[in-house]
């Protein structure tokens, strides 16, 4: 009998880590990532960065090379421990367990970065999230988001769309447990329509496999 679908997204990513499931990098997308990394280096050099949903520290490892300081946060303690195992310089990188939807953090920051997280934020919650970040980063603080463009593959199949326009995928763990995950693939126009009232100097860089948004908080 097929198990019911779980909707606890944080639990899914914690359990996926326990199973040591790895996403296989798409070789065709590596050029995109290289270009994004070049943009990040220019944007984040010397910044004090609040990183949301850092996961195992993939982006943290990149940011610590040129940022003045990085506070890498995630809701999952297991993923924070995995990120710490990278042994990044403690004078530059610190970690905190907190929910990216409403970060409870201390410190002074000039920028916020989130890699592959914004697609998991429901459309109706986006304005509130930006508002909370402004209270932490402050007016004119830099915001950088990186996420997936929609490329038709068996991994990007949409299971359903809700009344707010959010789309969902079904992911399965090796033990057969199935999870419904929010995964929104944003168009440039949708990003601008929803976020323009909250941001200034907003630019959307579109790549084949990814998109990158840069902006200042109003």
**Can you list the domains of the chain with their CATH numbers?**
5-19+28-148+187-217 (3.40.50.150)
Instruction: Say how far apart CA 200 and CA 68 lie, in whole Å.
Output: 24
Q: For the chain, 218 residues long, give each residue's pLDDT as a single digit of tens.
A: 556 788 888 888 888 765 544 444 556 678 889 999 999 999 999 999 999 999 999 999 999 999 999 999 999 999 999 999 999 999 999 999 999 999 999 999 999 999 999 999 999 999 999 999 999 999 999 999 999 998 766 567 899 999 999 999 999 888 889 999 999 999 999 999 999 999 999 999 999 899 999 999 99
Helix (H), strand (E) at residue 79: helix 77-84
pLDDT (0 to 100) of residue 21: 40
User: Residue length, the chain?
Assistant: 218
Structure tokens given for 52: 């949301």
The closest alpha carbon to 56, from 77, 30, 70, 36, belongs to: 77
């Amino acid at each position: 009998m097929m198990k019911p679908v779980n909707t606890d997204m944080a639990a899914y990513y914690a359990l996926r880590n326990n199973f040591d499931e790895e996403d296989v990098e798409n070789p065709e997308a590596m050029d995109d990532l290289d270009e994004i990394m070049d943009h990040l280096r220019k944007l984040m050099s010397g910044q004090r960065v609040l990183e949301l949903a850092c996961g195992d520290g993939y982006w943290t490892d990149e940011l610590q090379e040129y940022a003045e300081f990085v506070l890498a946060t995630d809701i999952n303690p297991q993923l924070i421990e995995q990120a710490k195992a990278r042994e990044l310089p403690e004078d530059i990188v610190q970690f905190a367990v907190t929910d990216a939807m409403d970060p409870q953090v201390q410190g002074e920051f000039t920028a916020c970065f989130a890699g592959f997280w914004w697609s998991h934020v429901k459309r109706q919650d986006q304005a509130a999230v930006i508002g909370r970040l402004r209270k932490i980063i402050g007016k004119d603080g830099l915001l950088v988001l990186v996420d997936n463009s929609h490329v038709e593959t068996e991994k990007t199949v949409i299971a359903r769309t809700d009344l707010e326009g959010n789309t969902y995928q079904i992911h399965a763990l090796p033990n057969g447990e199935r999870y419904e995950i929010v995964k929104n693939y944003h168009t440039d126009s949708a990003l601008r329509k929803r976020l323009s009232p909250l941001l200034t100097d907003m630019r959307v860089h579109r790549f084949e496999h990814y998109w990158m948004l840069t902006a200042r908080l109003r």
